[in-house]
């Protein structure tokens, strides 16, 4: 057995252990929401178990829950929500049958598709573009100055983890999946812990989603070294999208359609009421994290994201290639990872343009 194969086996085992521990920790952060009134769109499933993060980059589910858009469309279907720190843990929850759908980033979705040989999940909608940055100590002004430094990411194999490793490679800085190399990567560092470690001087920065990048800037004096939007054409790339268990999608298509209607309604409301949307996001963050974001943090984080139903599918293959180059993913054919037919039917009916799967759909 080659070193590369042995390493990938160890990596998958490590990812599973870390994600299982994260899953166990997140089970306490779940709630059930029932509708007293609603449409008949929820028939087909008695319960929908939905995962997402307590991040501004998850504005769609935060608003969808806070303002009741999901519950309204789900009707008699109970909505049970569960909060995760990063995507790999949410993927493990789907594999374990603990949740039915989740908002997460591109790389965990790709990993789920690859690990299950294309069977376990489908991407059914986009949610957010942008909202991720590499923030560092003020004295660091170039990639070369990162040599010997410690940089945190939320979870090994997660979207920000892959983005960091890919960018470092482009700068000629060597890393390996264990975190060692010319730059030490502290993967599996929860976002709140990253802030604490940075304030204590124990790490030098992090590649983080919003609002954590903004919190390090405004509360801990960090500086932005890389705004990830500058690395993508037109500054657009998938940060958050909605994946659904294929088993659940097949068994309860009406329930998935109801969730998508709730998303489209939530995103329409966000576009028309940005100030109220920020307040709704902050209200959910207060419920989930115990306290709201400071107004200046919320404003800065909000300015760095774009809420969209478009999964920006053309950027997914690039994310997969970055993961392959980082040694975190074997080459994977992504054909079939998207099922956008239910979303496009809703978008067409509500007067929105259809979105593309970039040739990676189920059809």
pLDDT in tens, 49-77: 999 999 999 999 999 999 999 999 999 99
The whole-model pTM stands at 0.87
Which value, to the nearest 10 degrees, does the dihedral of the CA atoms of residues 131, 236, 120, 102 take? 30
Return the pLDDT at 157: 86
User: pLDDT for 317-363, tens place per residue?
Assistant: 999 988 888 888 888 899 999 999 999 999 999 999 999 999 999 86
User: pLDDT for 273-288, tens place per residue?
Assistant: 999 999 999 999 999 9
Secondary element (H or E) of residue 272: helix 253-272
Residue 282 and residue 234: Cα distance in Å, rounded?
Answer: 28
Q: If pLDDT is split at 50, 70 and 90, which confidence band does 25 have? A: very low
User: pLDDT for 127-151, tens place per residue?
Assistant: 999 999 999 999 999 999 999 999 9
Asked if pLDDT for residue 312 goes beyond 70, the answer is yes
Return the pLDDT at 23: 45
Return the pLDDT at 332: 87
Asked if pLDDT for residue 9 goes beyond 50, the answer is no
Return the pLDDT at 43: 44
Q: If pLDDT is split at 50, 70 and 90, which confidence band does 160 have? A: very high
Q: How far is CA 186 from CA 6, 172, 193, 223, 284, in A?
A: 22, 19, 11, 19, 28
Q: If pLDDT is split at 50, 70 and 90, which confidence band does 178 have? A: confident
User: pLDDT for 292-308, tens place per residue?
Assistant: 999 999 999 999 999 99
Tell me the mean pLDDT in the region 249-254.
97
Residue 292 and residue 307: Cα distance in Å, rounded?
Answer: 20
Q: If pLDDT is split at 50, 70 and 90, which confidence band does 2 have? A: very low
Q: How far is CA 340 from CA 34, 242, 254, 356, 360, in A?
A: 27, 11, 14, 8, 10
Q: What b/e readout covers 148-161, taking b as 16+ CB neighbours within 10 angstroms?
A: ebbbbbbbbbbbbb
Return the pLDDT at 57: 97
Helix axes 191-199, 212-220, angle to 10 degrees: 20
Reference 261, options 355, 341, 347; nearest CA is 347
Asked if pLDDT for residue 236 goes beyond 70, the answer is yes
Return the pLDDT at 86: 85
Higher pLDDT, 155 or 207: 207
User: pLDDT for 81-118, tens place per residue?
Assistant: 999 988 889 999 999 999 999 999 999 999 999 999 99
Reference 177, options 6, 4, 11; nearest CA is 11
Q: How far is CA 275 from CA 65, 90, 122, 144, 279, in A?
A: 17, 30, 32, 40, 6
- All residues at 6 or more sequence positions from 93 whose CB lies less than 8 Å from its CB, including other chains: 23, 26, 51, 82, 84, 99, 102
């Amino acid at each position: 057995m080659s070193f590369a194969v042995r390493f990938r086996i160890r990596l998958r085992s490590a990812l599973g252990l870390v994600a299982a521990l994260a899953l166990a920790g997140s089970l306490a952060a779940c709630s059930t929401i029932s509708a007293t009134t609603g449409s008949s769109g929820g028939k087909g499933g008695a319960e929908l178990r939905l995962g997402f993060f307590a991040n501004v980059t998850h504005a769609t589910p935060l608003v969808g829950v806070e303002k009741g858009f999901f519950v309204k469309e789900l009707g008699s279907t109970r909505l049970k929500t569960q909060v995760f720190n990063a995507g790999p843990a949410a993927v493990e929850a789907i594999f374990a049958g603990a949740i039915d759908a989740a908002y997460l980033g591109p790389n965990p979705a790709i990993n789920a598709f690859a690990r299950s040989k294309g069977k376990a999940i489908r991407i059914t909608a986009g949610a957010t573009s942008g909202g991720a940055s590499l923030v560092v100590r003020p004295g660091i002004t170039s990639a070369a100055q990162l040599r010997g430094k410690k940089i945190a990411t939320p979870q090994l194999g997660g979207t920000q983890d892959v983005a960091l490793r890919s960018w470092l490679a482009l700068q000629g800085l060597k890393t390996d999946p264990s975190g060692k190399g010319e730059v030490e990567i502290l993967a599996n560092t929860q976002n709140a812990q990253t802030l604490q470690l940075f304030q204590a001087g124990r790490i030098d920065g992090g590649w983080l989603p919003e609002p954590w990048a903004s919190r390090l800037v405004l509360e801990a004096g960090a500086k932005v070294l890389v705004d990830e939007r500058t690395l993508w054409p037109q500054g657009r790339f998938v940060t958050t999208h909605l994946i659904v268990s294929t088993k659940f999608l097949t068994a309860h298509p009406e329930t998935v359609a109801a969730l998508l209607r709730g998303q489209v309604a939530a995103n329409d409301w966000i576009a028309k009421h940005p100030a109220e949307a920020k307040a709704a996001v902050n209200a959910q963050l207060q419920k989930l994290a115990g306290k709201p974001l400071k107004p200046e943090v919320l404003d800065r984080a909000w300015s760095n994201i774009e809420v969209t139903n478009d999964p920006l599918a053309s950027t997914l293959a690039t994310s997969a290639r970055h993961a392959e180059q980082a040694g975190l993913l074997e080459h994977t054919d992504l054909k079939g990872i998207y099922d956008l037919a239910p979303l496009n039917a809703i978008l067409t009916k509500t007067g929105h343009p259809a979105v593309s799967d970039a040739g990676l759909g189920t059809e």
